[in-house]
Each structure stands twice: as structure tokens, then as C-alpha cells.
Amino acid sequence: IYAGSQFGIPRLRHSSFEERISESFAGNPQHLSAAEAQKQIIQIATDFDIALTPAQVKVVIFDNRLKIDVKYEKLIDLKVWQKTVPFSLRRESAP
């Protein structure tokens, strides 16, 4: 049970983070700069106990589209065994 929770909780947080990003950036990005969107994504991540640096969050705005690419890793520590699990999120808004 302990091992399952150690792997499951980060996956659940990531899934919730993905949902919030999809909801928050579903509209037209014209009102946001790439830097503002990046700051919002980092703030949303903190709501789910995900620590991101600006280098881990790439935001590009082109042709009225917002492209988001987030990559980070989470260390799972089972006391006798450790594993680093990669997480990523890619979203592109519709024109």
C-alpha cells in the first residue's frame, strides 16, 4: 500500500495539474504574453505540490495559438529503493 501511494499520489497530482492547465488555457491566448502564461502555469503547479522552474515550462505564442510544453521529474523514495519518474505535459490551443 505504501509503495502504491508513493507512485499514485504524484500521478494523481499530475493528472489534476493537466486538467487545470487545459481548463485555464482553453480560450484564445491573445490577452496573455508567453511570460505571463509561464508564470500562471508555475503558480497552478504549486497548487498541486509540483515545483517547477521557468526552465521546465516552455510557452510559445504563434498564429493566435498557445503552445505549452512542461517537463519535470519526481523522485519516488521507498526508503530501500528510489526511482525518478518523468512527467510531461503538452498542450496547444485551437486557433
**pLDDT digit string (tens) for 6-55?**
778 899 999 999 999 998 887 655 678 899 999 999 999 999 999 999 99
Give the predicted TM-score (pTM) of the model. Answer: 0.84
DSSP 55: G
Give me the pLDDT at residue 12, please. 92
How far apart, in Å, are the Cα atoms of 63 and each of 4, 31, 36, 39?
43, 13, 18, 21
Give 57 or 92, the one with higher predicted confidence.
57
Give me the pLDDT at residue 32, please. 82
